Structure 1
Amino acid sequence: MCDTKGTAVGTVLLENDRMRVTEWRFAKKGDNTGWHRHAYDYLVIPMFDGTLDIDLPDGTRVQAHLKNGVPYDRKAGVEHDVISGNDFECAFIEVELLEDPRPA
């Protein structure tokens, strides 16, 4: 997922021809993924209740309020830096869909 290095730790848990599953762990408030652009459609499953700050290429910052176990999905092409807004360690699971979404 990441093109640049942030302070959050990404650990690939599973990878095959169809998907890549990565745990992203933020040890403290302010830890970040680093700027990156998603090459694939993906979904995120938070493992905490809390917030993530999302920096966007136009210079804006939005806040995402997440609930433990409640997933959300995004299309390929999303560019951002994800920053923990929490005063506790938190993590989420990211599942990238590596297959071409277009029918054969």
Structure 2
Amino acid sequence: MGEAQGTAIATVQVDSDVVRVTRWDFPVKGANTGWHRHAYDYVVVPMMDGTLAIKGADGTVTQAPLKAGVSYARPAGVEHDVINDTDGPMAFVEIEVLRGG
């Protein structure tokens, strides 16, 4: 899978030698990031409660219920499309670790 343009809105807030912080806004149910592979380890911080559908490269779809402020981390190499499965807007902040401190 290659990178594909999605309908979610990515706003880079910080882009340094150490981290990249991006806010992802999904304005409606079904908005998505598009297919992508993470080149770096990353942390996701949900901005609100909601559910995302995570479509993996193998075609499986996993429901991911999120709670505002409850973070999770994933390693580099993850390939997926992230889809808003909430009946309304959804948003999270993604923090990519570009190099060790």
Q: TM over 0.5: same fold?
A: yes
The Cα shift of 1:4 comes to 1.7
Q: Which amino acid aligns with 1:16?
A: S
Q: State the TM-score, normalized to the length of structure 1.
A: 0.92
Q: Return the alpha-carbon distance in structure 2 between the equivalents of residues 50 and 10 of structure 1.
A: 18
Q: Return the alpha-carbon distance in structure 2 between the equivalents of residues 3 and 17 of structure 1.
A: 23
Q: Structure 2, unaligned stretches of length 5 or more? A: none
**Which digits, 9 at most, give the CA deviation of each residue in 1:16-51, with x for residues without a partner?**
000000000000000000000000000000011110
Structure 2 counterpart of 1:50: 50
Structure 2 counterpart of 1:82: 82
What value does the CA root-mean-square deviation take over the aligned residues? 1.4
Q: State the TM-score, normalized to the length of structure 2.
A: 0.95
Q: Return the alpha-carbon distance in structure 1 between the equivalents of residues 59 and 4 of structure 2.
A: 17
Q: Which amino acid aligns with 1:75?
A: P
